[in-house]
Structure 1
Amino acid sequence: MKILVTGAAGFIGKNLVAELTARGHEVFSSTRDTSEGEFQQFCQHAEFVYHLAGVNRSEIETDFVEGNTGSTERLLETLASCENNAPIMFASSIQATRDNPYGRSKRAAENVLRHAHEKTGRTIYLFRFPNLFGKWGRPNYNSVVATFCYRVARDLPLEIHDPARTVQLAYIDDVLDTLVGLLDARGRKPAVYEEEVAIHPPIELGRIAGLLQTFKDSRRSLAVPQLDDAFTKQLYSTYLSYLPVDRFAYDLKLNEDARGSFTEFIRTPDRGQVSINVAKPGITKGNHWHHTKNEKFLVVSGEALIRFRQVGENEVHTYHVTGEMMRVLDIPTGYTHNIENIGTTDLVTVIWVNEAYDPNNPDTYFMEVQDETTQSDDHRRDASRNHTPVGRYS
C-alpha cells in the first residue's frame, strides 16, 4: 500500500516507518522539513494515513493548538483538495481528558476528525496513547523510560522525587502490531473507532530504576533478566538500545592456566549457566561427577574424546566429537566424565550447566574416569566409532 505517515521523525513515526517499509509498503514520510508541494503529492496518492505529527512540550500554549489541532485541520484540508477519503489513524493521548493546554489541543483534534467523519464518511481510528517506551525514544523529552535508560547506560545519576509513583506504559512493538493491523481492516464499516493498545499494569518508577541498574550490573554478575516477564524483557531490549556505541563490548574474566582456560559467559536464576572451556592439545579436563547438576557439552572447535563411567561400575563409554559435527552431549548425573583434546589445536567447548556454580554447594566430586579396572584406550576408541550419537550435550 501507499501510506502517509506524518510526524515520521518522531518516536512512534520512526518505528512505524521502519516496520511498514520492512513489510514492503511504500511509505510517504512527512516531517517538519517536508515541503507543501511534496505533502500535497503524499496526500494525493496515500491509501492510508497515520497522523502522528504533533506538539507535546512547549512553554507557549498556542504551540499546542497549532501543532495538534491545526496540523490535523491542514491534513484534512489537503486530503479533501485531492479528493482523497483515505482512512486516518490519529495519535491522541490519555491526557485528552485533562484540562491542560496539551490535553485540550488533542481533544480538539479528535473533535475535528469526528466532524470530518460526519461530513465525508471518512473512517477514523482514534488512539489515546499512554506513556510509550522502546528503542529510538528521545531522552530528557517526554519519556521517563528513555531518560532513565540513557542516563543509566552512561553512568549518570537518576533524579527520582517519588520512587513509589506509578506509570502506565505501552511498548512500541505492541503499538506497532496494533497500528499495522489497521491495514487489514479496510473492509470495516466507515466509522470513528476508539482503539486501544496493550498496556502494562502500573509500575513504580523505583522498580524501573532498579531493573535498569540490574541490567547495567549484569556485565559484572553475568546474570540475564527474567525474560519470561514481558515488561522486564521489553525494558531490557530498550535499555540495550541506549548503550553508547563505544560500550557495546565488555570483557569476561578469563581463568587461565597451562592446561587452557575456563570463562563464565552467562548466569541465570532459573536456566543455569553458560561457560566456554578451552583445552590445550593433549590435555584432559574433568574427572568428576554430580548428584543433581547436569551439563551439556558442545565442541565448536577442535577434536575430543568425551568419556563416561557410571559411579560404581567399570565400563567406560566414549564419544568422539569434533567442531565440524555440531553435536551436543548430555552429561547425566551419576556418571564421572572427562574431556580430552586429541587434536593438534585448542579444543573449544561451550558448556551449559543447569545451575549457576555455588561454591557452598558445588555438587562436584572428583573421580577418575579411567583406572586400573577400566578398558584399554584402544578398546574405548574402537567403541566410540560405533556409539549411538547423543542428541544434545553441554
Structure 2
Amino acid sequence: MDTMGELIRVGITGQGGFMGSHLYNYLGTKENDINRINFERSYFENEIALQEFVKSCDVIVHIAAMNRHEDEQVIYDTNVGLVQKLIAACETTNSTPKIIFSSSTQEERDNLYGKSKRDGRQLLENWASKTGAEVTSLLIPNVFGPFGKPNYNSFIATFCYKIINNETPTIINDSLVNLIYINELSEVFYNEIISEEKENIKSFVVPHTSSRKVSEILELLKEFKVQYVDHGQVPKVDLQSFELDLFNTFTSFIPKAYFPRKFTKHTDNRGAFVEIMRAGTAGQSSYSTTVPGITRGNHYHTRKVERFAVISGKASIKLRKIDSDEVIEYILDGTEPAYVDMPIWYTHNITNIGDTELITLFWINEPYNPEDADTYFVEV
C-alpha cells in the first residue's frame, strides 16, 4: 500500500478500548510507516464527525464492539449497528478505505456475540463487493495482555485483578484455551495494514500462539503473587515466552502505591549490606552515577522487565503511561535503599534531586541489543 513512500493513514474504531488502545500504542512505534488518525467514541453518535474520520483514513481497523451485556440482543444490535454506521459514512462520502475487521473465532458459536461478528462481516463484504473496496476480516482467538478490564475483556484480566486484591478466583470450566498475546495480535494487524496485496475480500483465522488450561494459568498467577508481590523476586520468565507475557499482564494490575519497595538493610560495625535483586531468570545488571539536577531516561519498553534501585543519593522517579497525561512520582533516598520496577508501556525517567552524586543500580531481564532495543524515547 505504501508505494509512494507516504505514511499510511490509519484510524482505529474502539481506539480507547483494550485491543484498540494497544494497537494505537503499537502503531506509535511504527512512525516511519504509519500516521495515526485519532478516533473518538462519540463519532458513532455524530454523522459528520464519522464521515470526516472515514475520509481521513487509508485504512480503518474496526475494533469497536460490545463484548458483554446482560441482554445478548443488545450486544447483537450494538455491534451490527456500528458496522452499519461505518458503511453509511463511507457511502455518503464515497470513501473506500481498506477496512480490517476484528472478528472472533466465536463466529461459528451459537451465541449472539458470535452472530453479530458474522453478520457484521457479511455487511462489510457486501459493501466491498459493490464498491471495489478491500475488506479483511481477522477471526481472533482469546486475547490477553496488560490493562484489560476485569470481568469484561478476558478471564486472565479477572484472575489478575482478584489475585492482586487477595480475592479467590473461581474456575467455571477448566478447559484448554487457545490464546494470543496483545502485542502479537497488534503485529498481525500491522502486517495486514502495510500489506500491498490487493484482495477485494479476505478473511483468515489468526493463529493462536499458546494453549493453556485455565487451572494452569491460575497456578502461574498465584505463583507470581507469592514470588513477586510478597517477596519482591522476579519469577522465571524466559524471553519471548508465554510466561513473560503473562507476567507483564499480571504486573499491570499492581497498584502504583505498591512502590517504592524498601530493601532490608543489614548494618554492623563494618558498614551495611543490602540484597538488591533476586530473580529466577537471567538478565543484565548495571549502575549509573548522576550529578545533581540531571535527568536520565525518558523512554518506554513494550516487553522488558526493569528495576531501578537507588542506593546512594536522592532521586525522583517519574512514570507516565504513554496514552495518559497522569504522571506518577516516587521519591527515593539512598539512606533507606529502595526500588521501583518499570511497567511496560510507561515512559519513565530518574532525576537527581539531591546535592550529592546519585548512584542507581539497574536490572533488566534481557541484555541490551541495539538491533532490537525495545526502547522508545518519549518525554515523561
Alignment TM-score, normalising by the size of structure 2:
0.67
Check 1:215–1:273 CA distance in 2 against 1; reply closer, same or farther (3 A cut): farther
Which of the numbers 10, 13, 27 marks the counterpart of 1:3? 10
Check 1:8–1:269 CA distance in 2 against 1; reply closer, same or farther (3 A cut): closer
Query: Which residue of structure 2 lines up, in the alignment, with residue 342 of structure 1?
Result: none
Which of the numbers 216, 219, 225 marks the counterpart of 1:216? 225
Shift of 1:22: 4.3
Which of the numbers 54, 59, 77 marks the counterpart of 1:43? 54
Query: Which residue of structure 1 lines up, in the alignment, with residue 262 of structure 2?
Result: 251
Query: Which residue of structure 2 lines up, in the alignment, with residue 290 of structure 1?
Result: none
Alignment of 1:162-201 (within 5 A): 162=173, 164-185=174-195, 187-201=196-210
Query: Which residue of structure 2 lines up, in the alignment, with residue 205 of structure 1?
Result: 214
Residue type of the alignment partner of 2:247: Y
Residue type of the alignment partner of 1:95: Q
Residue type of the alignment partner of 2:198: K
Residue type of the alignment partner of 1:13: G
Shift of 1:349: 11
CA RMSD of aligned residues (A): 3.0
2:149 aligned with 1:142, yes or no? no
Check 1:198–1:261 CA distance in 2 against 1; reply closer, same or farther (3 A cut): farther
Partners of 1:208 and 1:271 lie apart in 2 by 22
What fraction of aligned residue pairs are identical, expressed as a percent? Answer: 29
**Alignment deviations for residues 283-330 of structure 1 (CA, whole Å, 9 cap, x no partner):** xxxxxxxxxxxxxxxxx98xxxxxxxxxxxxxxxxxxxxxxxxxxxxx
SS in 1 for 2:180: strand
Shift of 1:193: 1.9
Residue type of the alignment partner of 2:272: S
Partners of 2:108 and 2:24 lie apart in 1 by 29
> Structure 2 stretches of 5 or more lacking a match?
1-7, 288-310, 313-355, 364-380
SS in 2 for 1:5: strand
Q: Do the aligned residues in 1 keep the contact of 2:24 with 2:36 (CA within 8 Å)?
A: no
**Alignment deviations for residues 133-190 of structure 1 (CA, whole Å, 9 cap, x no partner):** 112211111311111111222222212244x4222111110011111122321x3123
2:36 aligned with 1:26, yes or no? yes
Partners of 2:18 and 2:118 lie apart in 1 by 21
Q: Do the aligned residues in 2 keep the contact of 1:167 with 1:202 (CA within 8 Å)?
A: yes
2:8 aligned with 1:12, yes or no? no
Check 1:147–1:181 CA distance in 2 against 1; reply closer, same or farther (3 A cut): same
Alignment of 1:281-360 (within 5 A): none
Shift of 1:74: 1.6
Moved more, 117-126 or 55-64: 55-64
Residue type of the alignment partner of 2:16: A
2:83 aligned with 1:72, yes or no? yes
Shift of 1:59: 2.5
> Structure 1 stretches of 5 or more lacking a match?
277-299, 302-344, 353-394
Query: Which residue of structure 2 lines up, in the alignment, with residue 112 of structure 1?
Result: 123
Check 1:5–1:226 CA distance in 2 against 1; reply closer, same or farther (3 A cut): closer
Check 1:262–1:69 CA distance in 2 against 1; reply closer, same or farther (3 A cut): same
Q: Do the aligned residues in 1 keep the contact of 2:13 with 2:64 (CA within 8 Å)?
A: yes
Residue type of the alignment partner of 2:37: V
SS in 2 for 1:29: coil
Check 1:143–1:256 CA distance in 2 against 1; reply closer, same or farther (3 A cut): same
Partners of 1:109 and 1:223 lie apart in 2 by 44
SS in 1 for 2:249: helix
Residue type of the alignment partner of 1:218: Q
Residue type of the alignment partner of 2:208: I
Q: Do the aligned residues in 2 keep the contact of 1:252 with 1:263 (CA within 8 Å)?
A: yes
> Which structure exhibits the higher relative contact order, with contacts defined as CA atoms closer than 8 Å and separated by 6 or more residues?
2
SS in 2 for 1:137: coil
**Alignment deviations for residues 169-218 of structure 1 (CA, whole Å, 9 cap, x no partner):** 11110011111122321x31232222343523321122211111222222
**Alignment deviations for residues 335-384 of structure 1 (CA, whole Å, 9 cap, x no partner):** xxxxxxxxxx99x89799xxxxxxxxxxxxxxxxxxxxxxxxxxxxxxxx
Alignment TM-score, normalising by the size of structure 1:
0.65
Query: Which residue of structure 1 lines up, in the alignment, with residue 291 of structure 2?
Result: none
Shift of 1:61: 3.4
Residue type of the alignment partner of 2:162: R
Partners of 1:273 and 1:54 lie apart in 2 by 42
Shift of 1:221: 6.3
Check 1:61–1:237 CA distance in 2 against 1; reply closer, same or farther (3 A cut): closer
SS in 2 for 1:55: coil
Which of the numbers 137, 141, 147 marks the counterpart of 1:130? 141
